[in-house]
Amino acid sequence: MDALALFGVFLKASALSLGGLSSLPLLRGDLVAPGIATDDQVIQAIAIGRISTGPNGLYIVSLGYLVAGVVGATMALLAASLPPLVIVPITAAARRWLVATPVAGLVRGVALATAGLLAATGIGIVSATGTPSLWQLALAAIAAVLTYRGTIHPAIVIAIGAAAGLALGR
């Protein structure tokens, strides 16, 4: 896949998502399904994105690097930076329109649909390498609870997963 096409994939995922990991269902559909990226690379990118500094949504920079090196990371960075900026000129021109009921409903509808898609993607990731073992299901449940509660840094949760993998995954 050439750099411009990769930029298009990342831009579409970023422009049609609402924060953080919500670009994941679109990216997984556009990159993993056609064989451009693997589920392993998606998993690695999410983990690195959670460990690294900056917004959660920067996992796409890691994914861009894994797919196409520095060029891929640069395309992902540009694609992640541009869509949020549309809000800057819009707020100057149409602040009242932005808080109107249909717009609020549209944003809510996209967020709820994206949440369903994200849950489906999470299930897909857990079962990406075949039927998960009991310990893997337990690990997924623990990670979900810890992430939802937000009391432990994601890097620690990932370290727990890696340690469990080293102990039980061989």
Partner 1 sequence: MSAREFGEAWALSQLSPGIHLVALAGLIGRRAAGWRGVIAAVAGMMIPAAAITVALTAAYEMIAASALARAALAGVAPVTGGMTIATAALLVRTSARHGRTHLAIDLAVCFASLVAAVFLGIPTLAAIGAGAAIGALALGREPPTSRESSVG
Tokens 């893997």 belong to residue = 136
Query: Does residue 139 interact with partner 1 by CB under 8 A?
Result: yes
Query: Does residue 164 interact with partner 1 by CB under 8 A?
Result: yes
Of the two residues 1 and 71, which places its CB atom closer to partner 1 in the complex?
71
How many Å apart are CA 117 and CA 90, to the nearest integer?
Answer: 28
Tell me the torsion sign for CA atoms 52, 53, 54, 56: positive
Tokens of 149: 């509660």
Within 54-113, the residues that bind partner 1 by CB under 8 A are: 54-59, 61-62, 65-66, 70, 73, 77, 80-88, 91, 95, 98, 100-113
Query: Does residue 44 interact with partner 1 by CB under 8 A?
Result: yes
Query: Does residue 36 interact with partner 1 by CB under 8 A?
Result: no
Closest CB 2 distance from partner 1, rounded Å: 20
How many Å apart are CA 42 and CA 21, to the nearest integer?
Answer: 11
